[in-house]
Structure 1
Amino acid sequence: MTLTRRHLITTTLALTALSGCGAVSALNQATTPLDAFELRAPRDLPQAGRMLARSLSVEPPTTSGALDTDRILIKPNAVQSLYLPGVRWSEDAPQMVQTLVLRAFEDTGALSYVGRRPLGGSGDFALISEITDFQAELGPDGDSVATRMRVTARMVRESDAHVLARRSFSATAPAASNSALDIVESFNVVSDRLITDLVRWGLDSIGLRLPAA
């Protein structure tokens, strides 16, 4: 599936102009299954040289309404938000990012426990984050596409709710084409870069530095 600015705008106009029989047709189309895509966790994070007997809970990221969905967001310009037709993420974007971050921390072997909630009702550290960008963007020519991801993270000590460190992470990458598959692969590139940086920073903020890649 390829996308152009005209295709996206036509899709939007069609959705906003529904009435009568058109609305019934749209409801019927809404039951058509969408192709689902998922992102992979970073594959090149090194193993930690030692394991800390500490636990980390990775909280679900917060985000805006446009991103709090399983639809893949694309912006044809700075003020307009649309969704790629016919495709979706395998789960809502914040939950998917939470899963990727959790797996990345686990894969380093740096901590004795990493989960979505504290072990036994209390834990050592919590990662709190907000997703501010997670979208594809059309270039000025209307055909080229790039993806963008930006996350602000805080590492919090659970015992006294003290913020140990705060940092914003961002990454962008061009898509090889404007097909849905190439756009998703571009999302894989940016999420890999961003989550790798986030995990290194997170472990460093609690006293464990990963070896250089």
Structure 2
Amino acid sequence: MKNARLGVVFASLLALGGCGAVSALNKAAIPLDAYELRAPSDMPQAGRSLNRALSIEPPTTSGALDTDRILVKPNPVQSLYLPDGRWASELPAMWQTMALRAFEDTGALSYVGRRPLGAVGDFALISEITDFQAELGDDDTATIRLRLTARLVRESDARVVARRVFSAAVPVEGTETLTLVNGFNVASDEVLAEMVAWGLQGMGLRLPAS
């Protein structure tokens, strides 16, 4: 049986039927605890630095994800937001910050930023998040699902030099907000570690195995 507390509150929320529902939920005058995901704390060190500059754009997302609310799916056709928690910033901005930190922590690049260094940088990372939700199961369990498509673009000629889809599915025991957030952290760490290794390889450097 799903967590009773969540079940009672979810019953009072409308499924997301469009921008109006999203707007109404976001404007609700209810104080929510804020949660922040962080980049992995154990990124492998490159050992040497590439003379490369990377700009990381905030990912694009669907309307339901383009918010600071934490998305939950009680079933495949219904989407709700957690009633008592939110992200510390909107998902695209939070993910951009995590990606910046993850690339920086490897020490592999001469520059990592939100915009190119100078008029034109060397590479840009463009991505789209299509899944970032907790999918509720039976018996007070859930699966955190993350899916992201990333493209590494050479700035000089706008050529896509690499493209890859990253995904993670992390089972969690319990549907309390903190339990779900910890699951999001595990899924994000997994995808970020894979994406950083892939991105650096696309720029000419292979990270050592962690």
TM-score (normalizing by structure 2): 0.90
Q: Is contact 1:8–1:82 with CA below 8 Å preserved after alignment? A: no
2:202 to 198, 201, 205: 205
Instruction: Give secondary structure in 1 for the equivalent of 2:187.
Output: helix
Structure 1 counterpart of 2:85? 87
Alignment of structure 1 residues 92-107 onto 2, 5 Å: 92-107=90-105
Partner of 1:159 in structure 2? 156
Aligned residue runs from structure 1 range 75-154, under 5 A: 75-139=73-137, 141=138, 143-154=140-151
Q: Give the SS at the match of 1:85.
A: strand
Counterpart-to-counterpart distance in 1, 2:88 and 2:140: 26
Larger strand proportion of the pair: 2
Residue ranges of structure 1 left out of the alignment (5+ in a row): 17-25
Which residue in 2 is equivalent to 1:196? 193
Aligned to 1:171: 168
DSSP-derived class of the 1:11 partner: coil
Structure 2 alignment gaps of length 5 or more: 18-23
Q: Please report how far the alpha carbon of residue 9 of structure 1 lies from its aligned counterpart in structure 2 after TM superposition.
A: 4.1
> CA 1:142–1:15 in 2, change beyond 3 Å: closer, same or farther?
farther
**Which protein has the bigger helix share?**
1
How many pairs align? 201
Deviation at 1:10, TM superposition (A): 1.3
CA deviations on 1:162-207 (whole Å, 9 max, x unpaired) are: 1100000000111231110010000000000000000000000110
Task: Please report how far the alpha carbon of residue 13 of structure 1 lies from its aligned counterpart in structure 2 after TM superposition.
Answer: 5.0
Q: In structure 2, which of residues 40, 45, 48 is the aligned counterpart of residue 47 of structure 1?
A: 45
Q: AA paired with 2:70? A: I
Equivalent AA in structure 2 for residue 136 of structure 1: A
- Provide closer, same or farther for how the CA distance between residues 208 and 15 of structure 1 changes in structure 2, counting only shifts above 3 A: closer
Which amino acid in structure 2 is aligned with residue 174 of structure 1? P
1:8-30 Cα shifts (integer Å, max 9, x gaps): 541225999xxxxxxxxx99x93
1:74 maps onto 2:75 in alignment: no
Q: Which amino acid aligns with 2:193?
A: T
Q: What SS does structure 2 have at the residue aligned with 1:117?
A: coil
Aligned to 1:180: 177
Whether the 8 Å contact between 2:15 and 2:79 is mirrored in structure 1 is no
Q: Structure 1-normalised TM-score?
A: 0.88
Q: Say if 1:82 and 1:48 are closer, same or farther in 2 by CA, change over 3 A.
A: same
The equivalent residue for 1:12 is: 13
